[in-house]
Structure 1
């Protein structure tokens, strides 16, 4: 299990088995975070979902 700081609020986020590009949620601030690296574990803000309007 890995524990890393949320990049938004600095709360500790626990991950059982971090997977690259996995989306997790911070329990404290509810930010959606993406696993950017697994060794060492690095979290960043998940990209916003954008609609393509069929383009």
Structure 2
């Protein structure tokens, strides 16, 4: 199992777009873990969350 730095707080509010690049912010809950699990959480939140219109 991979053990790498994970964000730990997946939500669209923690993603900024600058020059067409996604930048992940707010690393207060970061930890070492499986990055695939961190990515899966982001996908679930983005897929099922009610997003503000400017993010769609």
Query: What TM-score, normalized to structure 1?
Result: 0.26
